Structure 1
Amino acid sequence: MANILVTGANGQLGTELRNRSFSLLDDVFYTDVEELDITSAKAVSSFIETHEIDTIINCAAYTAVDQAEDDEERAAKINRDAVANLANAALQHDCILLHISTDYVFDGTADQPYTEKSATNPQTVYGRTKLEGEEAIKKSGCMYIIIRTAWLYSAYGHNFVKTIARLANERDEINVVNDQWGTPTYAGDLAEAIIKIMENEDLPEWEGIYHFTNEGVCTWYDFAKEIVALAGADCKVNPVTTAEYPVKAKRPAYSVLDKKKIKDTFELEIRDWRDALKTCMATF
């Protein structure tokens, strides 16, 4: 039996966790900023003590990548300082902390999948503050599992899949970047992986950083083509270069994550991104 705190519970991953079942013996407290302000160390410690929390799953994050370039203080408050609050409270109250991080901690210049041991070198405010959050966890001394993921989407909130599906039904053609490589991640699959990991009785032995995305590699253009096809829309998808689609925050040219460690450690079977996309879009 466990008392589990889920932060950022109204986001994509948090919502997918709500839609799935932890053990019937567990009490799960789903919170977002209205229920718990994780930027307040006092509020975090009080909540954990009051509800006798022994497991924390942190899905909260400042994820507006371009906006973060002009709002570093707020991004750091959520991605670094709030994470430090959770980690310090986890140590104080003897909790396990599972935290979600990102491929943006890397610089995107690799030509082979990034492993958990690959050198980090974030190129954006978002990536830098997320890495600082990881470092705050390790510095705290709490028992932790950090899962880096990439290209997250679901049937909820704002994401690439929902945007492309909408545009495909509104326009005759759309332009999508074809020189950035990565792997989409269905938040539902990540949620199921988290639940399985949390059920592991030997979890304290497996402390560390892990990578999780769906299997396979594609560009945003490939991803968009598949979305349009599944949506049954009569819309042409045009490949363009990153230079033709300027944005404020630099995007990684290559952000494929190696998942061998998480698959071997927790005996996870991860499906191809195309199969996961079909499952997600069937719920639209």
Structure 2
Amino acid sequence: MPEGDNVYQAARRMQAALGGKRLAASDFRVPAFATLDLAGWTVLEVVSRGKHLLHRLAPPAPDGGPSPSPEGRLSIHSHLSMEGSWQVYGAGERWRKPAHTARAALRAEDGTSAVGFSLGVLEVIPTAEEGSVVGHLGPDLLGPDWDAARAEANLRAEPERAVGLALLDQRNLAGIGNIYRCEVCFLGRVHPATPVGRVPDLPGIVAMAKRLLEANKARPRNTVGGFGPRNSTWVYGRAGQPCLRCRTRIEHATLAEPTPGTGPLLGETRERDIWFCPSCQPLL
């Protein structure tokens, strides 16, 4: 699943490709927006919010440029979920993914395109109503609203919850996925199943998450800090391999958590994969 650094990079690529440009065509391949035509609209900016992406657009003014008024502006809200991606193409360049997986295509007047494939969420909303889709998120680890104290307070609000589950809850802090969850717990010498209230240095865990995402937001991810492409993680995906710190075999397990009461089945649980070193990360 793409994590905060991946989504941040995607936003930067699309901002560089489409920012400030007027669209020549748009194509939304979801029923709710299949007839929406944004030709003539200008892409003001593309930003990330945790794992969410927002393309903000302004309608055309009478002179053909973007309307200076914030009224009437729209945002394309998307979430990559497990397999989604946005890709940028030059004029006339062939898509690198199957066309039937495309959910949205935006083409600028210079021929540059951005295409969203296998998106988990795709909707177009008034920009003024972005809070309805991202307002529930906690402070963004890579955003201007980052607030370490608020993220820590959010985590501490449920002291009996496993820290490995609390870190994945985007309402606490936005941008951590399973890879960073496992890596941060290892670096903090905390078992992912440890209750938040028993974590010895929760501020340190939050600071480490921030440090890792910042370090990787402009480069290919490498959470071990230079061991090379074959060892790009400390524990994630390395079950049965020796710990890079103490040589104990890395273990794989799952953490179970009830789904929210609004889910399809009340009482249903979901399991999250975890990787950890039993020696470096004893369960407290």
TM range (shorter): under 0.3
TM-score normalised by the chain length of structure 2: 0.27
TM-score normalised by the chain length of structure 1: 0.27
| Greater share of residues in helix | 1
Tell which structure's C-alpha radius of gyration is larger: 2
| Greater share of residues in strand | 2
The structure whose RCO (Cα within 8 Å, separation 6+) is larger is 1
